[in-house]
Structure 1
Amino acid sequence: MPSPTVLVSGASIAGPTTASWLARAGYEVTVVERFAALRDDGQNIDVRGAAREVLRRMGLEDAALAAGTGEQGTVFLGEGGRELARFPASTDDTSGPTAEMEILRGRLGELLHDHTRDAVRYLFDDQIAGLAQDLDGVDVSFASGREERFDLVVLAEGVSSRSRDLVFPAASREYLGMVIAYLTIPRQDDDTDWWRWYVAGRGRGVNLRPDDVGTIRASLNVITETRGLDDQPREVQVAALRRAFAGAGWQTDRVLAALDDAPFYLEDLAQVHLDSWSTGRIALVGDAAWCATPVSGIGTTLALTGAYTLAAALAGNTDHRTAFAEYEQRMRPFVDKGQSLPPGVPQVANPRTELGRRAFGAVLRVAASPLAAKVGGVAGRFTTPPADKYELPAWPAA
């Protein structure tokens, strides 16, 4: 019998991970990526809990640790840059704002690609244009004009997945009321290897984080009821950010000045909710299925564990319908936990009033105290996402 074929759309994190495990299960795997090459950009991400075990089973844990950003921890700053609370980097798989495994998204993507490229066919600079399925397979038309038929299709794209919208038009987005702009800026002599989170007030925050290539990853986040800024031209976005952050203090002007030349992207935070992550022979994984947003602290962990769980279900079942149902039954409770943000997030971490700013500082001081580690509660939940609340299924025996 010929090997079953599967198309995976997306070559970031969830896609190559799914491809790797499906290739191990005996599938003939193709990965399509709309960009012309791997993207080496992206911000700092962390890998926690069960996701560390996925990398461990792939033989990539040590490589990912070695490629880390070197972030020593997280320090929150208040008015005038005054320190509010400090959280050293975790020394375990799960706890703290700075996990033990902190890595650039592009770096992890490169590790996953290199791990799979000999067993998986990659098609760059192309994307799905049409999907037509029947009982026996899926006919895929690509933007390049290529047409192929696959036994299965897995969409491992982002929150704004175009391919998902072809077959899951009912996907809903729950906007969280916050916009984040990400950019990379030159490193200065007074920069440190700590994640510095400046609580600027009026619903604003400024973040500076170290990387392992000699630059600083910066972000500007602002609470706003205005939607659609992410669809506007760059010049409109830059003007809006400069208006919003005018006079914010600390190192804000340095970040705003970099908007003239630095590559950046802007995200209007939204969670994705679907009643089902599959239809027929097509399944979703990662942000396209359940985006929890960066403020959850668990997005990469969900991507890695979801990819492994989907592949394990397909490896253990000859019927894809049974496999998809098993995958969803296992992952749905974990995704629900990841999407269930602490009370008031993200607004509480980006207070609009001076009273809110002082209250957030008080929460941080409690969370940074030795007592918080013992009692947990809201303060502990704010700094530690529930990444250990999932047990990976065993890989099916051959």
Structure 2
Amino acid sequence: MLAPVYIVGIGMTHFGKRFDESVKSLTASVTNAALADAGVTSQDIQAAWFSNTRQPMLEGQNTIRGQIALKHAGIEGVPIVNIENACASGSTAVLQAMNAIRAGMVELALVVGTEKMVFPDRQEQVAAAFAGGTDIHDRQGVLDYIVEIGGELPGVGRSLFMDLYAAQAKAHMQTFGSTQEDFARIAANTHGHGKHNPKAQYRTAFSVQQVLNDKPIVDPFTRAMCAPVSDGAAAVVLCSEEKLKQLGRSKAVKISACALLSTTSRDKFDYQQHIGRRAANLAYEQAGLGPTEVDVIEVHDATAYATMQQIENLGLCEPGNVGERLRAGDFALGGHQPVNPSGGLLAKGHPVGATGLAQLYELCAQLRGECGARQVAGARVGIAENGGGFLGVEEGATTVTIVEKVKA
């Protein structure tokens, strides 16, 4: 049995267009917040992991990004590992830190994800960075996949990933009968949750009709169904069970599972072997829990369709039945299993390297009862799905993490 690992400190900046901030300043802010929350200092940290994907392409900081940013935050002299795994970078960094703790190499570790993505004068580089999340030597294969499942060829002024998700949404509509209104209801729920999150990029609630009437991006998506480009940072402090005895259990959250997988060469319509489903099944096995025992969920909703896809992959609902459950309110705040009470990527924002850690920030805050108007009553078990990149017919990497409230 693997040794338990705990989250004892969390921090997150406000997500959005942070024109006056840098990778260094965002990292310093979130590191200080997480350390203070854990009741430790920078001198107590024995190793750190730093998640970032865009600084090489947008600023030219090709190497030692974590060493540079964390030095600005007072973390130096200890092992610092830089992690890049597309949108799953943050959760991947958490898994690597967990493994170091389980191996007995360290007892107290810091994991930080920081991203500076908003550069109005570098739009071509921003677009190229997204395109680089696929196999750049098989561009035609990506385009062929989009067309084969009913999508539109990529257009100007939007991320290639919106075209990929839109094509998958159309295939889902054709196969399972989902509708554009279902995606609009997901977006309306998510933006409604984001209204209550002071750290969210967007805090405007939408009705289903307002989502449908928003600016079209690529059929079947409107703007409110698509995640924005964002700046921001999030961090967690992890510790061993022995260290927890010194720090105290009052804020601790146990990581019961963290499953990371990569894509396979499956058939494009074999949804049972989707990377998200395989990672979820592995995580449930690690935790000894099942979908019915989860109270609060954070999924990687780069689009509203992605929410539906991951609700199915996590085993919360059978394919084709999500729309009915949405209309019943099951996945909204106050419902049976609220999804993305943080506002998800759609409202909270999506600074790529920070996203997986921001999901854990939300789940920890929920299990600690600190979420105010968006609090899920009685939450004891949370799950996060964090996927990134595109390879073949699905995400190139996906992590599913399960956390549990620690008994006093």
Give the TM-score, by structure 2 length: 0.27
Structure richer in helix, relative to its length: 2
Give the TM-score, by structure 1 length: 0.27
Relative contact order, CA 8 A, sep 6+: which one is greater? 2
Larger radius of gyration: 1
